[in-house]
Protein backbone atom coordinates (compact mmCIF):
# COMPACT_ATOMS: atom_id res chain seq x y z
CA UNK A 1 0.00 0.00 0.00
CA UNK A 2 1.55 3.33 -1.03
CA UNK A 3 1.51 6.23 1.40
CA UNK A 4 2.38 9.83 0.60
CA UNK A 5 5.06 11.56 2.64
CA UNK A 6 8.82 11.27 3.13
CA UNK A 7 10.18 8.48 0.92
CA UNK A 8 13.46 6.95 -0.20
CA UNK A 9 13.58 9.50 -3.02
CA UNK A 10 13.70 12.29 -0.41
CA UNK A 11 16.91 10.99 1.17
CA UNK A 12 20.15 12.69 0.11
CA UNK A 13 22.84 10.70 -1.72
CA UNK A 14 25.11 8.64 0.53
CA UNK A 15 27.90 8.09 -2.00
CA UNK A 16 31.25 7.56 -0.31
CA UNK A 17 29.76 6.88 3.10
CA UNK A 18 30.43 3.63 4.94
CA UNK A 19 27.55 2.24 6.99
CA UNK A 20 27.06 -0.81 9.21
CA UNK A 21 23.64 -2.40 9.67
CA UNK A 22 23.16 -5.17 12.22
CA UNK A 23 20.61 -7.84 11.39
CA UNK A 24 20.70 -6.85 7.72
CA UNK A 25 19.90 -10.33 6.43
CA UNK A 26 16.13 -9.96 6.79
CA UNK A 27 13.21 -7.67 7.57
CA UNK A 28 13.84 -4.06 8.52
CA UNK A 29 17.61 -4.49 8.48
CA UNK A 30 17.64 -5.91 4.98
CA UNK A 31 15.33 -3.18 3.71
CA UNK A 32 17.52 -0.54 5.37
CA UNK A 33 20.66 -2.02 3.79
CA UNK A 34 18.90 -1.98 0.42
CA UNK A 35 17.85 1.64 0.86
CA UNK A 36 21.33 2.79 1.85
CA UNK A 37 22.92 0.85 -1.02
CA UNK A 38 20.43 2.46 -3.40
CA UNK A 39 21.62 5.84 -2.12
CA UNK A 40 25.22 4.92 -2.92
CA UNK A 41 26.61 3.99 0.49
CA UNK A 42 29.01 1.13 1.08
CA UNK A 43 27.00 -1.18 3.33
CA UNK A 44 28.41 -3.70 5.80
CA UNK A 45 25.81 -6.34 6.66
CA UNK A 46 26.61 -7.52 10.21
CA UNK A 47 24.57 -10.66 10.81
CA UNK A 48 24.51 -13.82 12.88
CA UNK A 49 23.69 -16.05 9.90
CA UNK A 50 26.40 -15.62 7.27
CA UNK A 51 24.52 -17.68 4.68
CA UNK A 52 21.35 -15.58 4.71
CA UNK A 53 23.45 -12.42 4.95
CA UNK A 54 25.35 -13.40 1.81
CA UNK A 55 22.06 -14.18 0.08
CA UNK A 56 20.71 -10.77 1.08
CA UNK A 57 23.86 -9.08 -0.22
CA UNK A 58 23.59 -10.98 -3.51
CA UNK A 59 19.95 -9.95 -3.96
CA UNK A 60 20.73 -6.31 -3.16
CA UNK A 61 23.62 -6.41 -5.66
CA UNK A 62 21.25 -7.66 -8.38
CA UNK A 63 18.66 -4.98 -7.60
CA UNK A 64 21.25 -2.20 -7.21
CA UNK A 65 23.91 -2.59 -9.92
CA UNK A 66 27.29 -1.46 -8.64
CA UNK A 67 26.27 -1.78 -4.97
CA UNK A 68 29.28 -1.92 -2.64
CA UNK A 69 28.53 -4.55 0.01
CA UNK A 70 30.38 -6.51 2.66
CA UNK A 71 29.29 -9.21 5.13
CA UNK A 72 30.60 -9.65 8.68
CA UNK A 73 29.49 -12.44 11.00
CA UNK A 74 28.09 -11.04 14.25
CA UNK A 75 26.26 -12.78 17.07
CA UNK A 76 25.06 -10.10 19.48
CA UNK A 77 24.14 -12.71 22.08
CA UNK A 78 27.83 -13.59 22.50
CA UNK A 79 30.12 -10.76 23.56
CA UNK A 80 33.20 -12.58 22.28
CA UNK A 81 31.58 -12.56 18.82
CA UNK A 82 30.68 -8.88 19.21
CA UNK A 83 34.25 -7.92 20.02
CA UNK A 84 35.71 -10.08 17.25
CA UNK A 85 33.34 -8.67 14.61
CA UNK A 86 33.97 -5.09 15.73
CA UNK A 87 37.73 -5.67 15.62
CA UNK A 88 37.39 -7.10 12.11
CA UNK A 89 35.55 -4.01 10.92
CA UNK A 90 37.99 -1.63 12.62
CA UNK A 91 40.92 -3.42 11.00
CA UNK A 92 39.39 -3.12 7.54
CA UNK A 93 37.71 0.28 7.68
CA UNK A 94 39.56 3.36 8.98
CA UNK A 95 36.33 5.35 9.06
CA UNK A 96 32.60 4.68 9.45
CA UNK A 97 29.81 7.18 8.93
CA UNK A 98 26.72 5.44 10.17
CA UNK A 99 25.93 2.64 12.58
CA UNK A 100 22.38 1.21 12.46
CA UNK A 101 21.73 -0.96 15.52
CA UNK A 102 18.80 -2.92 14.16
CA UNK A 103 19.21 -6.61 15.02
CA UNK A 104 16.94 -7.99 17.70
CA UNK A 105 15.27 -11.06 19.09
CA UNK A 106 12.06 -11.79 20.98
CA UNK A 107 12.45 -15.11 22.72
CA UNK A 108 9.40 -17.19 23.40
CA UNK A 109 10.89 -18.60 26.61
CA UNK A 110 13.41 -17.56 29.23
CA UNK A 111 16.93 -18.24 28.01
CA UNK A 112 20.39 -16.97 28.91
CA UNK A 113 23.09 -15.81 26.53
CA UNK A 114 26.61 -17.24 26.41
CA UNK A 115 27.53 -14.56 28.96
CA UNK A 116 24.66 -15.34 31.34
CA UNK A 117 22.28 -12.50 30.44
CA UNK A 118 18.55 -12.87 29.75
CA UNK A 119 18.58 -13.33 25.99
CA UNK A 120 16.44 -10.36 24.86
CA UNK A 121 18.23 -7.95 27.21
CA UNK A 122 21.62 -9.44 26.43
CA UNK A 123 21.18 -9.43 22.67
CA UNK A 124 19.12 -6.34 21.93
CA UNK A 125 20.70 -4.05 24.52
CA UNK A 126 23.98 -5.32 25.98
CA UNK A 127 25.24 -6.72 22.68
CA UNK A 128 24.69 -3.38 20.98
CA UNK A 129 26.12 -1.55 23.99
CA UNK A 130 29.47 -3.31 23.51
CA UNK A 131 29.21 -3.18 19.71
CA UNK A 132 28.72 0.58 19.70
CA UNK A 133 31.57 1.10 22.15
CA UNK A 134 34.00 -0.87 20.02
CA UNK A 135 33.06 0.91 16.77
CA UNK A 136 32.72 4.42 18.19
CA UNK A 137 36.41 5.08 17.65
CA UNK A 138 35.88 4.67 13.90
CA UNK A 139 32.79 6.86 13.48
CA UNK A 140 33.70 10.01 11.58
CA UNK A 141 32.89 13.63 12.34
CA UNK A 142 29.19 14.15 11.76
CA UNK A 143 28.50 10.42 11.99
CA UNK A 144 25.37 8.93 13.49
CA UNK A 145 24.38 5.98 15.65
CA UNK A 146 20.79 4.90 15.01
CA UNK A 147 19.03 2.67 17.51
CA UNK A 148 16.03 0.81 16.12
CA UNK A 149 13.45 0.90 18.86
CA UNK A 150 9.86 -0.26 19.12
CA UNK A 151 6.48 0.91 20.38
CA UNK A 152 6.93 -1.92 22.89
CA UNK A 153 9.38 0.22 24.87
CA UNK A 154 6.41 2.14 26.26
CA UNK A 155 5.43 -0.80 28.45
CA UNK A 156 8.98 -1.76 29.43
CA UNK A 157 10.18 -1.80 33.03
CA UNK A 158 13.80 -2.08 34.17
CA UNK A 159 13.90 -4.18 37.34
CA UNK A 160 17.51 -3.81 38.45
CA UNK A 161 16.99 -6.47 41.09
CA UNK A 162 16.03 -9.14 38.55
CA UNK A 163 17.92 -8.47 35.33
CA UNK A 164 17.97 -12.16 34.41
CA UNK A 165 14.17 -12.31 34.94
CA UNK A 166 14.60 -15.39 37.09
CA UNK A 167 11.76 -14.31 39.38
CA UNK A 168 9.20 -13.29 36.78
CA UNK A 169 9.34 -13.82 33.02
CA UNK A 170 6.99 -13.32 30.13
CA UNK A 171 8.07 -12.97 26.52
CA UNK A 172 6.34 -9.59 25.94
CA UNK A 173 7.78 -8.16 29.17
CA UNK A 174 11.31 -9.30 28.32
CA UNK A 175 11.10 -7.80 24.85
CA UNK A 176 9.59 -4.53 26.05
CA UNK A 177 12.31 -4.23 28.71
CA UNK A 178 15.05 -4.78 26.14
CA UNK A 179 13.58 -2.13 23.83
CA UNK A 180 13.23 0.35 26.69
CA UNK A 181 16.87 -0.31 27.59
CA UNK A 182 17.86 0.40 24.00
CA UNK A 183 15.94 3.66 23.99
CA UNK A 184 17.44 4.77 27.30
CA UNK A 185 20.87 3.94 25.89
CA UNK A 186 20.29 5.85 22.63
CA UNK A 187 19.39 9.09 24.41
CA UNK A 188 21.98 8.72 27.17
CA UNK A 189 24.65 8.06 24.56
CA UNK A 190 23.73 11.28 22.77
CA UNK A 191 23.87 13.27 26.00
CA UNK A 192 27.28 11.85 26.87
CA UNK A 193 28.68 12.40 23.37
CA UNK A 194 27.48 16.00 23.48
CA UNK A 195 28.89 16.60 26.97
CA UNK A 196 32.25 15.22 25.84
CA UNK A 197 32.17 17.31 22.63
CA UNK A 198 32.42 14.16 20.49
CA UNK A 199 31.16 15.14 16.99
CA UNK A 200 28.85 12.13 16.65
CA UNK A 201 25.13 12.01 17.40
CA UNK A 202 22.80 9.26 18.57
CA UNK A 203 19.18 9.00 17.45
CA UNK A 204 16.41 6.42 17.65
CA UNK A 205 13.67 5.32 15.27
CA UNK A 206 10.96 2.70 15.20
CA UNK A 207 9.26 0.93 12.26
CA UNK A 208 5.73 0.91 13.65
CA UNK A 209 3.70 -2.15 12.79
CA UNK A 210 5.86 -3.99 10.26
CA UNK A 211 5.83 -7.56 9.01
CA UNK A 212 9.20 -8.83 10.25
CA UNK A 213 10.80 -12.01 11.51
CA UNK A 214 10.11 -11.00 15.11
CA UNK A 215 6.39 -11.20 14.41
CA UNK A 216 6.78 -14.60 12.76
CA UNK A 217 8.05 -15.90 16.10
CA UNK A 218 4.88 -14.87 17.97
CA UNK A 219 1.75 -16.82 18.77
CA UNK A 220 -0.39 -18.15 15.95
CA UNK A 221 -2.99 -15.40 16.29
CA UNK A 222 -0.44 -12.62 15.79
CA UNK A 223 1.19 -14.50 12.93
CA UNK A 224 -2.20 -14.84 11.28
CA UNK A 225 -3.10 -11.19 11.91
CA UNK A 226 0.15 -9.88 10.46
CA UNK A 227 0.71 -12.21 7.52
CA UNK A 228 -2.60 -13.70 6.35
CA UNK A 229 -3.07 -12.67 2.68
CA UNK A 230 -6.83 -12.70 3.15
CA UNK A 231 -6.56 -9.89 5.71
CA UNK A 232 -4.33 -7.53 3.71
CA UNK A 233 -7.30 -5.36 2.79
CA UNK A 234 -7.64 -4.57 6.50
CA UNK A 235 -4.16 -4.94 7.98
CA UNK A 236 -2.49 -2.73 5.36
CA UNK A 237 -4.18 0.16 7.15
CA UNK A 238 -1.92 -0.27 10.18
CA UNK A 239 0.78 -2.79 9.25
CA UNK A 240 3.54 -2.09 6.73
CA UNK A 241 5.99 -4.21 4.78
CA UNK A 242 9.73 -3.75 5.49
CA UNK A 243 10.40 -1.32 2.59
CA UNK A 244 7.91 1.09 4.19
CA UNK A 245 8.76 0.26 7.79
CA UNK A 246 12.44 1.03 7.28
CA UNK A 247 11.78 4.61 6.18
CA UNK A 248 11.79 5.89 9.77
CA UNK A 249 15.27 4.42 10.25
CA UNK A 250 16.44 5.77 6.91
CA UNK A 251 15.18 9.26 7.71
CA UNK A 252 16.92 9.28 11.10
CA UNK A 253 20.06 8.10 9.34
CA UNK A 254 20.11 10.50 6.40
CA UNK A 255 17.88 13.55 6.87
CA UNK A 256 20.19 16.59 7.12
CA UNK A 257 17.74 18.17 9.58
CA UNK A 258 17.79 15.20 11.98
CA UNK A 259 19.57 15.94 15.26
CA UNK A 260 20.95 14.00 18.17
CA UNK A 261 18.44 12.78 20.73
CA UNK A 262 15.55 12.72 18.27
CA UNK A 263 13.14 9.85 17.65
CA UNK A 264 11.49 9.04 14.31
CA UNK A 265 8.49 6.85 13.63
CA UNK A 266 5.46 6.50 11.36
CA UNK A 267 2.70 9.04 11.46
CA UNK A 268 -0.89 7.91 11.27
CA UNK A 269 -3.28 6.20 13.67
CA UNK A 270 -1.48 4.85 16.77
CA UNK A 271 1.85 5.56 15.09
CA UNK A 272 1.80 2.14 13.44
CA UNK A 273 1.89 3.05 9.76
CA UNK A 274 2.50 5.94 7.44
CA UNK A 275 5.45 8.11 6.40
CA UNK A 276 8.20 8.82 8.94
CA UNK A 277 8.06 11.92 11.11
CA UNK A 278 9.60 13.18 14.32
CA UNK A 279 7.74 11.53 17.21
CA UNK A 280 7.83 11.68 20.99
CA UNK A 281 9.27 8.79 23.00
CA UNK A 282 7.70 7.72 26.27
CA UNK A 283 8.58 9.45 29.52
CA UNK A 284 10.24 6.19 30.58
CA UNK A 285 12.71 6.44 27.69
CA UNK A 286 13.63 9.98 28.76
CA UNK A 287 14.23 9.17 32.44
CA UNK A 288 17.80 10.38 32.95
CA UNK A 289 18.22 8.81 36.36
CA UNK A 290 17.26 5.36 35.12
CA UNK A 291 19.41 5.85 32.01
CA UNK A 292 22.46 6.77 34.08
CA UNK A 293 21.96 3.79 36.37
CA UNK A 294 21.44 1.45 33.42
CA UNK A 295 24.63 2.75 31.80
CA UNK A 296 26.61 2.01 34.94
CA UNK A 297 25.11 -1.46 35.23
CA UNK A 298 25.82 -2.19 31.57
CA UNK A 299 29.46 -1.24 32.02
CA UNK A 300 29.71 -3.45 35.08
CA UNK A 301 28.05 -6.42 33.35
CA UNK A 302 30.07 -6.21 30.17
CA UNK A 303 33.38 -4.87 31.46
CA UNK A 304 33.24 -2.19 28.74
CA UNK A 305 33.77 1.45 29.75
CA UNK A 306 33.07 4.26 27.31
CA UNK A 307 35.01 6.92 29.20
CA UNK A 308 32.19 9.40 28.64
CA UNK A 309 30.95 11.38 31.62
CA UNK A 310 27.28 11.22 32.62
CA UNK A 311 24.92 13.17 30.37
CA UNK A 312 22.82 14.89 33.04
Distance CA 87, CA 290 (A): 30
Q: Is 69 exposed, middle or buried (0-12, 13-18, 19+ CB in 10 A)?
A: buried
**What is the CB-side half-sphere exposure of residue 41 using CA atoms within 13 A?**
26
- For residue 173, the surrounding DSSP H or E stretch is helix 171-195
**Which residues does the annotation mark as catalytic?**
175
CA distance 62 to 77: 31
Per the DSSP assignment, residues forming a β-bridge with 51 are none
Distance in angstroms (rounded) separating the CA atoms of residues 181 and 171: 15
For 109-128, letters b (16+ CB in 10 Å) and e give ebbebebebbbbbbbbbbbb
Q: DSSP strand E in 28-67: where?
A: 42-47
Q: How far apart are CA 236 and CA 100, in angstroms?
A: 26
Contact 158, 284 (CB under 8 A): no
Strand-pairing partners, residue 20, are 44, 99
- b/e code 217-233 from CB counts within 10 Å (16+ = b): ebeeeeeebbeeeeeee
Amino acid sequence: MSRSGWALSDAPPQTGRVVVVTGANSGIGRATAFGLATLGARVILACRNEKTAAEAADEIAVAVPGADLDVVQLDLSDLSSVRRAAAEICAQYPSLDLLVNNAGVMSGRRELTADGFEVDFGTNFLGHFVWTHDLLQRISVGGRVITVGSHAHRTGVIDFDDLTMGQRFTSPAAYARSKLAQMLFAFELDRRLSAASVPVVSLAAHPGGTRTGVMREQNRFLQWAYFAPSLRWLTDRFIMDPPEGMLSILRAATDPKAAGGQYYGPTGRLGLAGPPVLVTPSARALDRDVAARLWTVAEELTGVHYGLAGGH
